[in-house]
Amino acid sequence: MMKEEIIKLDHITYKYEQEDVLEDINLTVREGDFLTIVGPNGSGKSTLLKLILGINRVQQGEIYLFGEKINRFKNWERIGYVSQKANSFNSGFPATVEEVVASGLTKKIGLFRFYKKKHREKVFQALKEVGMENFLHRTIGDLSGGQQQRVFIARALVSDPELLILDEPTVGVDVRNVSNFYDLLFELNRNLGLTLILVTHDTGTITEKATHIACLNKQLHFHGDSYEYEELNNQDMSAFYGHDVYTLKHDH
């Protein structure tokens, strides 16, 4: 049996002013997929996410979320989102890790007037899933960029989404921790069965972890499984990226 379609983009074309930013995008994400979208600056990655999240309205084509047309879709709690700027708290920002993660429950419990034991347990569980359960009472601003990013993933996980969307989550995370971070995403996908969409500049490490890779540059140039992607040679990639050549070599 085919897995459920979580997202379907059907001939999506989008423009802010005159010029198309996205052109005739067709893309299907199924339950359990880990899709990575790569593309140079200004290639339309954030615009694509904004359309999927209902922040920008569809102009041409159609988007389906969990089988429903996006303009009728109401179950937004099924989708978790971690934005690019999530990990930019300054030192001393007066909120604890527990409070930040608990704020992901507001849709469910209102403005935490009734923050009960079961909510505390959910917060703890979400932090455990990202390996941050020992940081419960720490001040968010005092954590490293990578640790903050994990806390924000816990915040998105606490309401039990089926799909998690991450926009450039490794900005501000130092190189050594990027790899650990991708391992975490891999585990969330493989162990919890969470469907993931990751937007990134980083074409290196991530291709080993994702199940599907899409290259976006106004059009969707390639969308296949990560193994096919690694078969692409550098010539294809330099044509795609222009002068910004990425080396894609992995030892299998």
Ligand X SMILES: Nc1ncnc2c1ncn2[C@@H]1O[C@H](COP(=O)(O)OP(=O)(O)OP(=O)(O)O)[C@@H](O)[C@H]1O
CB of 85 to ligand X, least distance (A): 11
3, 16, 71, 225: which one binds ligand X (CB under 6 A): 16
Element (H, E) at 119: helix 117-129
CB of 45 to ligand X, least distance (A): 3
How far apart are the C-alpha atoms of 237 and 217, rounded to whole Å? 12
Q: Is residue 21 near ligand X by the rule CB under 6 A?
A: yes
How far apart are the C-alpha atoms of 135 and 96, rounded to whole Å? 9
Find the binding residues for ligand X in span 189-228 (CB under 6 A).
Answer: none
Q: Which stretch binds ligand X (CB under 6 A): 45-53, 88-96, 153-161, 219-227?
A: 45-53
The SS3 of residue 154 is helix
Q: How many CB atoms lie within 10 A of CB 108?
A: 13
Task: Pick between residue 41 and residue 91 the one whose CB is nearest to ligand X.
Answer: 41
How far apart are the C-alpha atoms of 129 and 161, rounded to whole Å? 14
8, 45, 155, 209: which one binds ligand X (CB under 6 A): 45
13, 20, 24, 46: which one binds ligand X (CB under 6 A): 46
How far apart are the C-alpha atoms of 199 and 214, rounded to whole Å? 10
Enumerate residues 6+ apart whose C-beta is below 8 A from 31: 3, 4, 5, 6, 162, 193, 195
Task: Pick between residue 42 and residue 110 the one whose CB is nearest to ligand X.
Answer: 42
Q: Which stretch binds ligand X (CB under 6 A): 23-31, 41-49, 185-193, 226-234?
A: 41-49
Q: Is residue 42 near ligand X by the rule CB under 6 A?
A: yes
How far apart are the C-alpha atoms of 231 and 215, rounded to whole Å? 14
Nearest to 34 by CA among 197, 250, 222, 245: 197
CB of 15 to ligand X, least distance (A): 9
Task: Pick between residue 44 and residue 169 the one whose CB is nearest to ligand X.
Answer: 44
Task: Pick between residue 41 and residue 90 the one whose CB is nearest to ligand X.
Answer: 41
Site residues, ligand X (CB under 6 A): 16, 21, 39, 41-47
